[in-house]
Structure formats: structure tokens, C-alpha cells
Amino acid sequence: MEMYEAVVVGAGPAGCMLAQTAGKRCNILLVESRDLHVPVEEGREKSCGGLLNPTAQETLAKLGLALPKEVLESPQVFAIRAIDYDTNQERYYPKHYININRGAFDRWMLSEALISPRVELCDRTTVTGYTPYTDYVEVTLRGADGITRQIKTRYLVGADGAASLVRRRLEQKYCGPDEPRFPIRRYVSLQQWFPMEEELPYYVALFDQRVTDYYSWMIPKGGQVILGAAIPEGKNVRGRFQYLKHRVRATGFSLGTPEREQGAILLRPYGPGSVYLGKGRVFLAGEAAGLISASSEEGISYALSSGTALGEALLRRGTPEETEDLYRKRVMKLRWGLAIKSMKSIIMYDPKLRGAVFRSGLLSMNVK
């Protein structure tokens, strides 16, 4: 039976950064359910707005990574138009995001991870189960051909996003079905892509309690515009999204017939207590660990940082207890950042408090 230092489930930013970091001296198997042999434009990219915030940019800079031009998407704009339908106000705020093609970004991250010969990619493959033992974890994989096989690994890492099977199995084993230790809310992130009928020189943040208690967005990208919303799971997602399109059109935005649609489960943490880094020989990174902003649902920066932190911990090749302790210490700064984002979200998503901030004009700018 094959034996690896770590099996990493998910070839997104968290999984790729872990593989790139730990792959310097460890044998890593990177498992991905998507078909990564098809062109980017034909692949199944993550439902994501595709914006790199300054924290993500800083993380890439510290790692000595520079974005290739094929990852960049036009237009590059530097402001957000925030529209509050609950209080009938709007403001413009300066923001320096880098607009990217998320599919191309993931492929680039993967190419960086696969530079090391110690990193092996296994795409079109899913993890159907795993069993932790004292000295290793036995993982069951199923390929696109339906054939299953078992492999052994010193550590299993769930970097498989909001719907993480690795996390669900861990919580079932250690937390019990009636007492979840790591409270977290589930939303549906729904996006539609429309042809851009007019130039949009800013990103748009939309607030409307009739759509969601979170927020919605518009992002110009490659001659199209994305309209998206994070809506509580089970709350008439489709109907609320249709209402959002009606409000946006009534505001004056030209939206024709959508050309494609994406949807995914999204986690919304309550705060640092929602973070679950794993137990024993099973670890979690990125959104699977609950590392995602409670105020903006931004997750790429947390994925990059947590993947790097866990990779560095695995490089030490200590005991599971030592590895877990080192990982927790290295993500402590991220958890404090989540605490700040959680406090910010209290203001952002309370209509009265948000309305007061809009009226004050704090940090806003004038746009002609």
C-alpha cells in the first residue's frame, strides 16, 4: 500500500501552498475532483468573485511569487460603489483589489506546487472516506473510472472548501451530532455572468435585507459583469436572487440575459470560535477550517496563509501533537484577524449601524 507524508484534499490556494511548502522535503499527494487536463476556459472553476485583496497580495510577495499576465483580468478598478437599499443611501470607497481570472489563478498556483518532484497530482479523484490509526491515516480514493483504492499517509489535510468531507467526518467523530463545537453558518453563493453593456469603473457592494442578511456584489470581468449574492441556505435562494436582479435593474444597471451561472456552498463564521484546525493526524486549512472573512467572505488570503503555515509545520516532521501545536501558533494571527472581521461585520450588516456609517461619510470618497 502506498505511503505519503501527507495527502492533501483540494488543489485550490490552500492545498497548493501547502504542497509547494511541504513538498520541498515531503512526499505529497494532491487530490482534486476537477479535471485539470482541460483548458482553463473549459474547466470547473470555483464560484468566486476573483479579487485579490492587499493581504493576499502581501502574502504572495513574501513568498516571492509574481502574478503572470494570463492570470490578470480586465478591468483593474480601484473603488467600490456601496449601495444600501435598506436605508436608500450609497457611498464610494477606495479599494485596491487585483482583478483575476480565478480558474487561471488556480492553475498557476498548481503549476508552482508541482515544481517539486515530491508533489504528485491526482485529479478527477475524490476521497470517499478515511480511517485514522495511531501511526497513519488510511484514505480511500475513487477515480473517474469508478475504481477505488486505499493509500496510507502520515497526515491527511482537508483543503476542500466549505463542503469539506474531511471536516464533516472529523466533527462526526469528535464532536457528536447534537453538540457542534465549531458553530458556523452555511450560505449559498450564487453568481450569474452577463454581457457588459456599459463600462463599469468600480466594483459594487449591495445591501438588502430582503435578499440576504449578508451582501451581494457586482464585479466587471473580461467584458462581462458578475452579479452574485450570498444567501442563507434553504431561504428561497432562487427567488431572492431574482428579486436582487429586479432591484439592480431598477437602479439603472443594464443586465441582459445571463450567459452562465455558478453556485457553491459558502461558510460564514461567527468568529474565531468557528475555526477548526483538525485533530490528531487530520488537519484542515483554508475555508474547510472556517478561515474566511465574516465581513466580506474573502478567503484567498486565509487559504494562502494557512496552507503555508501548515506546510511549514509538516516540514518539522514532529509528532502529531507537536505539528498541531506549531500549526495553531502559526495561524494565531489569522484568528485575531477573523475576530476583527467579525466585529466589523456587526456594523456592516446591521441596517441602522450601517446607515449611520453611510451618513457620516467615514472613509468614503467623492466620485465624479
Residues 183-193: tens digit of each pLDDT: 678 899 999 99
Contacts 24+ apart (CB under 8 A), 175-181: 181/276
Determine the average pLDDT of the residues in 321-334: 95
CA distance 35 to 172: 29
pLDDT digits (tens, 9 = 90+) for 84-106: 999 999 999 999 999 999 999 99
36 pLDDT tier (thresholds 50, 70, 90): confident
Q: How many CB atoms lie within 10 A of CB 320?
A: 18
CB 3 within 8 A of CB 136: yes
Of 191, 193, 222, 216, the C-alpha closest to 76 is 222
Say what the pLDDT of residue 243 is.
Answer: 98
pTM: 0.92
Of 300, 292, 242, the C-alpha closest to 271 is 292
CA distance 155 to 262: 32
Give CA separation, 234 vs 22, 211, 227, 230, in Å: 39, 13, 20, 12
Say what the pLDDT of residue 44 is.
Answer: 65
Say what the pLDDT of residue 38 is.
Answer: 77
Question: What average pLDDT is seen over the chain?
Answer: 92
177 pLDDT tier (thresholds 50, 70, 90): low
* 295 residue type, one letter: S
Q: State what percent of residues in the chain have pLDDT above 70.
A: 95
**Per-residue burial over 7-46, b = 16 or more CB atoms within 10 Å of its CB, e = otherwise:** bbbbbbbbbbbbbbbbbeebbbbbbbbbebeeebeeeebb
41 pLDDT tier (thresholds 50, 70, 90): low
112 pLDDT tier (thresholds 50, 70, 90): very high
Of 104, 125, 112, 124, the C-alpha closest to 23 is 112
